[in-house]
């Protein structure tokens, strides 16, 4: 049949179990209704999800719904028919349950389990290890980018100014698309505070240093 369209039927309840009754009267009333798809019509694993190994959301609910947007059945037929069928015309019998919402309720003792294979309503458990942050930071050195030149004479001139200002420095030759250049950097310094002071001193010399950063 051409020009068929699907329409998902979703529950009016946050949590409920349900049963489907006889669909024959619905088909007789709506000749344009080709098929009512249920969970039994989904081949293979009736599930999807964002994780490769976890498909815990059913394409069509199988006897229970866990949230109001969960698809229960899919009506297939011509557009006017499937979107003209009211939810109360469907033979769905609901048994409403108290919803399990928020963060505390699903984790409380005795809370209803949303998925049988996820005890405690936990999708996954993780482990985090914390090291010695102060020790890690203690070994960090800070530098101030000053300039980069391809002309060795300009490098010599700048480093002479830094030496005269009693600022520690070092140079780094690097290859670029336009040829080799030499980067001049003030430092290294044992603390960000010392590097910031050097940054201010460089600006006082009329230079345009870059932001303080860590030495790689």
- For the segment 156-209, what is each residue's pLDDT rounded down to a tens digit? 999 999 999 999 999 999 998 889 999 999 999 999 999 999 999 999 999 999
In angstroms and rounded to an integer, the radius of gyration of the C-alpha atoms of the chain is 34
Q: For residues 18-45, give the mean pLDDT.
A: 94
Residue 164 gets the label, from left (phi > 0), alpha (psi -120 to 50) or beta, of: alpha
Could you give the number of structural domains in the chain? Answer: 2
Flag whether pLDDT at 2 surpasses 70: no
Query: How sure is the predictor about 4, in pLDDT bands with cuts at 50, 70 and 90?
Result: confident
Q: What order of strands is seen across the sheet that includes strand 4-9?
A: 4-9, 73-78, 33-37
Flag whether pLDDT at 80 surpasses 80: yes
Q: For residues 105-127, give the mean pLDDT.
A: 85
Query: Where in the chain does DSSP place strands (E)?
Result: 4-9, 16-20, 33-37, 64-65, 73-78, 92-96, 142-149, 169-176, 179-189, 213-214
Tell me if 124 is assigned to some domain: no
Proportion of the chain above pLDDT 90, given as a percent? 70
Q: Kindly give the residue spans of alpha helices, DSSP state H, lying in 65-132.
A: 79-82, 104-107
Please state the length of the chain.
216
Q: Please tell me whether residues 36 and 105 are part of one structural domain.
A: yes
Proportion of the chain above pLDDT 70, given as a percent? 99
Range of the domain at 102: 4-116
Q: Please tell me whether residues 13 and 100 are part of one structural domain.
A: yes
- Tens of pLDDT, residues 34-59: 999 999 999 988 888 887 777 888 99
Can you give the CATH number for the domain in which 19 is found? 3.90.1170.50
Q: Residue 7's pLDDT is what? A: 94
């Amino acid at each position: 049949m051409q020009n068929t369209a699907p329409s998902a039927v979703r529950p009016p309840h946050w949590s409920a179990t349900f049963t489907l009754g006889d669909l024959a009267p619905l088909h007789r009333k709506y000749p344009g209704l080709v098929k009512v798809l249920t969970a039994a019509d989904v081949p293979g694993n009736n599930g999807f999800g964002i994780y490769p190994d976890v498909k815990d959301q059913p394409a069509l609910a199988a006897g229970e719904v866990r949230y109001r947007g969960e698809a229960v059945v899919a009506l297939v037929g011509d557009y006017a028919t499937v979107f003209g069928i009211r939810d109360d015309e469907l033979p769905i019998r609901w048994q409403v349950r108290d919803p399990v919402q928020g963060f505390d309720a699903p984790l409380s003792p005795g809370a209803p389990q949303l998925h049988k294979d996820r005890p405690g309503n936990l999708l996954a458990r993780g482990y985090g290890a914390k090291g010695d942050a102060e020790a890690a930071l203690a070994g960090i050195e800070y530098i101030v980018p000053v300039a980069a030149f391809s002309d060795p004479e300009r490098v010599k001139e700048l480093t002479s100014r830094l030496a005269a200002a009693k600022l520690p420095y070092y140079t780094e030759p690097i290859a670029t698309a336009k040829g080799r250049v030499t980067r001049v950097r003030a430092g290294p310094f044992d603390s960000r505070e010392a590097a910031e002071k050097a940054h201010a001193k460089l600006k006082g010399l009329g230079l345009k240093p870059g932001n303080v950063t860590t030495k790689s």
